[in-house]
Amino acid sequence: MNENLFASFITPTMMGLPIVTLVVMFPSMLFPTPARLINNRLISFQHWLIRLTSKQMMTIHNYKGQTWSLMLMSLIMFIGATNLLGLLPHSFTPTTQLSMNLGMAVPLWAGTVVTGFRNKTKASLAHFLPQGTPTPLIPMLVIIETISLFIQPVALAVRLTANITAGHLLMHLIGGATLALMNISTLTALLTFVVLVLLTILEFAVAMIQAYVFTLLVSLYLHDNT
């Protein structure tokens, strides 16, 4: 195992050129377009899962919000597939890069804010100043609400980055400890390996949950602005 804890987070290169674009495009190949009249079980399961997630996430939206359904479903599929592929050995997880997560969070957040100012201008401006605010506190509250608004995309990106990175680092550390303990105590190494297996199962769940949380928060931002 590589002793450098952060080696798996370095952008992969081939012949000195970054291939992160190919890595990002790869998850789209996992969702093929069916060409048959009757789908197989895998395609049917994918369609059922997409319909279930879409129904749960888009129920709260009006007609204008539901026009985002395709984008939100594509987002959750991309993040989920990327997170799961990152759990494979010697693989690269793009969602551990804060720059990429900001690249997803900022445009989506900006789109929801712009939509809110176009469709609900008065209501969007009213968020900066709660009703009944004392006059001396008005400047401070406007500043606080403005800062909280601009922190939303940063919180989205940092939450996804921190959760995925922490899980990968913990798996790396426990895997290294398991290898080191094999020559010292077989029983201890076996117990550590069991912990590693349980942690890997947990990381599979975290990969899907973080994709759902990221998309759900974008959906809630959209709901507040439509």
Read off the pLDDT of residues 196-226 as tens digits, 9 standing for 90 and up: 889 889 988 998 899 999 998 998 888 888 7
Q: Is residue 128 part of a domain?
A: yes
Query: Which pTM was predicted?
Result: 0.78
Beta bridge partners of 14: 17
Would you say residue 28 lies in a domain? Answer: yes
CA distance 165 to 190: 25
| Model confidence pLDDT, tens digit, residues 68-110 | 888 888 888 888 888 888 887 777 788 888 888 898 899 999 9
Specify if 137 maps to a domain: yes
Give the structural domain span for 161.
Answer: 7-225
- Domain annotation covers residue 74: yes
97, part of any domain: yes
Residues 6+ positions from 87 with CB-CB distance below 8 Å = 93, 200, 203, 204, 207
93 in any annotated domain: yes
Structure tokens at 211: 């994709």
The total number of structural domains in the chain stands at 1
Asked if 219 contacts 57 with a C-beta cutoff of 8 angstroms, the reply is: yes
Domain assignment of residue 1, yes or no: no
